[in-house]
C-alpha cells in the first residue's frame, strides 16, 4: 500500500479556552481532490494553518510524504513541497502579474530568478487561468476575479505537489467561477494533490472526489458527494435547519 500524501493524527488546537480543533485525524491520498467543508467557524482555515506551519498544534502530528512537519516554519513546509492560498486575496500589488508568479516559484525576493525557463513556465501557468495577456500589468490593476486567478497561478507556478486552496471561488460567479472549477480537476494530471476549502456546494459536487465534513473542529462525515449530499442530518448542520437544494 502506498503511504498517504498527508496524514494528520490526533491534532489539537485551542485558543485560550476555545477548543477549536479538539482532536483531528485526516488522511489525503496522492492525486485526489478532497474538499473540506463545514459551517463558518468550523475550523477549516485553522486546519490549513496547522498543516502549513502558520500555527503549531498543541498535540498531534502532521506527516507529509512520510516526513514529520511538526515545528517547521511555513517557509520550510513550503520547501517540503506544499503550498497554500489564503482566504483573503494576497498578491503583491506593486509588481507585475508575471513577477508575482515568479516570486511564487522561487518563494522570496532574495532568490527570485528571472531565468528564461522560469519565465516561460510562469507564462504557461498564467495561460491556465487566462492571465497570460496581462503578464506585464501591475497586480494592483487587476479586477478582484483576476487577483483570485493570480493567487491560484502563484501556487500552480510553484513545483509543490500538495495544493491547499482556501476558498478559491469566493466572490466569483459566471465565467470567472468556471475558470477555477474547470482548472481544479485538471490538476491531478499535473501531478498535484488538492485539498480545497469550498462553500459553494455546486462546486464541491462537481470537483471533489472525496469530501470531509467538519463541524466544531471534528470530522463528522467523509465520503463522496453522492453519499454526503443525500444526508439530511448534514444538510441541517450546514444550513442550520435548511435543506440541500
**C-beta separation of 129 from 179 below 8 A:** yes
Chosen residue from 2, 40, 111, 243 binding ligand ATP by CB under 6 A: 40
Beta bridge partners of 96: 138
If one asks whether residue 177 binds ligand ATP (CB under 6 A), the answer comes out as no
- The verdict on 41 binding ligand ATP (CB under 6 A) reads yes
Residue 49 found at the interface with Mg ion (CB under 5 A): no
Residue 43 in contact with ligand ATP, rule: CB under 6 A = yes
20 touches ligand ATP (CB under 6 A):
yes
CB nearer ligand ATP, residue 146 or residue 167: 167
Partner in contact with 34, chosen from ligand ATP, Mg ion, none, beta carbon below 5 to 8 Å by kind: none
Distance CA 218, CA 43 (A): 9
Residue with Cβ nearer ligand ATP (62 or 97): 62
- What is the rounded distance in angstroms from the CA atom of residue 234 to the CA atom of residue 141? 41
Q: Which of residues 70-129 bind Mg ion (CB under 5 A)?
A: 87
What are the two backbone dihedrals, phi and then psi, of residue 220, each rounded to the nearest 5 degrees? -105, -10
Q: Which of 44, 84, 105, 192 binds ligand ATP (CB under 6 A)?
A: 44
Interaction with ligand ATP in 80-119: which residues (CB under 6 A)? 87
Q: How many helices (H) and strands (E) does the chain have?
A: 9, 10
| Residues 208 and 35: beta-carbon distance below 8 Å | yes
Contacts made by residues 53-57, CB under 8 angstroms, sequence distance 24+: 53/77, 55/13, 57/11, 57/12, 57/13, 57/21
Least distance to ligand ATP, CB of residue 41, Å: 4
Q: Could you tell which of Mg ion, ligand ATP, none binds residue 85, using a CB distance below 5 to 8 A set by kind?
A: none
Host H or E run for residue 5: none
Give contact residues for ligand ATP (rule: CB under 6 A): 15, 20, 38, 40-46, 87
Amino acid at each position: 500500500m502506498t503511504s498517504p500524501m498527508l496524514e494528520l493524527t490526533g491534532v489539537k488546537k485551542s485558543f485560550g479556552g476555545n477548543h477549536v480543533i479538539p482532536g483531528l485525524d485526516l488522511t489525503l491520498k496522492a492525486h485526489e481532490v478532497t474538499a473540506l467543508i463545514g459551517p463558518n467557524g468550523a475550523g477549516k482555515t485553522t486546519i490549513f494553518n496547522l498543516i502549513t506551519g502558520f500555527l503549531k498544534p498543541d498535540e498531534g502530528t502532521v506527516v507529509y510524504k512520510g516526513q514529520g512537519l511538526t515545528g517547521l516554519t511555513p517557509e520550510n513546509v513550503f520547501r517540503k513541497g506544499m503550498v497554500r492560498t489564503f482566504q483573503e486575496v494576497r498578491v503583491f500589488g506593486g509588481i507585475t502579474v508575471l513577477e508575482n508568479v515568479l516570486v511564487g516559484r522561487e518563494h522570496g525576493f532574495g532568490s527570485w530568478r528571472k531565468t528564461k525557463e522560469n519565465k516561460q513556465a510562469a507564462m504557461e501557468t498564467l495561460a491556465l487561468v487566462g492571465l497570460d495577456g496581462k503578464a506585464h500589468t501591475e497586480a494592483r490593476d487587476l479586477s478582484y476575479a483576476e487577483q483570485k486567478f493570480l493567487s491560484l497561478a502563484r501556487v500552480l507556478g510553484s513545483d509543490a505537489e500538495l495544493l491547499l486552496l482556501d476558498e478559491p471561488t469566493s466572490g466569483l460567479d459566471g465565467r470567472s467561477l468556471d475558470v477555477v472549477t474547470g482548472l481544479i480537476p485538471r490538476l491531478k494530471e499535473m501531478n498535484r494533490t488538492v485539498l480545497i476549502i469550498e462553500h459553494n456546494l455546486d462546486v464541491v459536487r462537481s470537483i471533489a472526489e472525496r469530501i470531509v465534513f467538519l463541524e466544531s473542529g471534528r470530522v463528522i462525515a467523509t465520503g463522496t458527494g453522492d453519499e454526503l449530499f443525500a444526508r439530511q442530518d448534514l444538510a441541517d448542520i450546514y444550513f442550520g435547519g435548511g435543506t440541500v437544494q
